[in-house]
Amino acid sequence: MEDMQTFTMPFDESGDLCLTTFGHSVTHPGHTYGPAVRSYYLIHFILKGQGEFTVNQHTYHLHAGQGFLIEPDYQTIYKSDEQEPWTYVWAAFSGKRAASTVNSLGLSQSEPIFSCTEAQGRQLASYVQEMLANNSFSLAGVYYRLGLLLQFLSVIAEAQRELLPPMDNNTYISHMTNFIRTHIEDPFTVQDLADYMNFNRSYVTTLFKKYLHTSPHSYIQNCRITKAQHLLESTTIPIEAIAFSCGYAKSDSFTRAFLRQTGLSPKEYRCQKGSGSIVKK
């Protein structure tokens, strides 16, 4: 037997990632679940006690601070210890990105076990409790729980970090340029980019110069000005608003940067490339 809180959501396999079920269980001594086969990915994390998890004819003896993955279409059994029955939380998900997400965490049915620190375990438990507290079927609730699932997975990624293969330099560059493109409206600096990657600023500069043949500052500026040119040509948005949407806190800073790069002020550029009748200061 077990004292369980759980919630199951309707899910759409055509989506990228979808939370399907989640919960918290305090099991009784010797409680057994299975044999069972799931149609989704399921991650358990043990908060207290110990027990056994069996898959592929292999039995793992697990305790508090450890977790285990169950992949779709595998038969599994797990059993709570007779003396120290376990308490655990779980989150299950499916979707087109589910398999690649699990793979990115360094988990598989042949390597299904992971370990977390005490603090990380508290985070995992808190995210599941938050899911249980926000279980409405509204669109807002769906998105909120998906965010909690991603945070749940991020804790496992951090716990697994030392076990994952290091990224190569091309992957680093890809992550940094993607960060720049998706945050171009924010007034971030090269130091912010370095902090995001957990690098020092000089190493970021070295990577950009070696692989992109420019400095990170120049790359960021070019992205900002390119976006500004598109907005000036294709919209009637006021120049001050364009400045803010391209990551400039002040419109005069934007104007100076635009003039340096294009040889024209934003207003002059719009007159030449856009329609003079829609110019707005």
CATH number, domain with residue 259: 1.10.10.60
| Whether residue 22 is found in the same domain as residue 106 | yes
Counted domains in the chain: 2
| 170 contact partners, CB below 8 Å, separation of at least 6 | 211
Q: Examine the domain organization and report whether 112 and 188 are in the same domain.
A: no
Shared domain for 125 and 179, answered yes or no, is no
Nearest to residue 217, comparing CAs of 245, 244, 180? 180
Residue 8 has a pLDDT of 84
Residue 276 has pLDDT above 60, yes or no: no
DSSP sequence for 209-260 = HHHTSS-HHHHHHHHHHHHHHHHHHH----HHHHHHHTT-SSHHHHHHHHHH
**Rounded Cα gap, residues 40 and 98, in angstroms:** 9
Q: pTM higher than 0.75 for the full model?
A: no
Last residue of a domain, one of 100, 133, 163: 163
pLDDT digits (tens, 9 = 90+) for 96-135: 889 989 988 989 888 899 999 999 999 999 999 999 998 8
pLDDT in tens, 8-34: 877 666 678 999 999 999 999 999 998
* Residue appearing with tokens 């003396």: 83
Q: Does residue 217 share a domain with residue 150?
A: no
**Domain finish residue from 108, 140, 163:** 163
Domain that holds residue 123: 2-163
User: Domain boundary at 163, 196, 230, which?
Assistant: 163
Tokens representing 84 are: 């120290």
Write the pLDDT tens digit of every residue in 216-264: 999 999 999 999 999 998 888 999 999 999 999 899 999 999 999 999 9
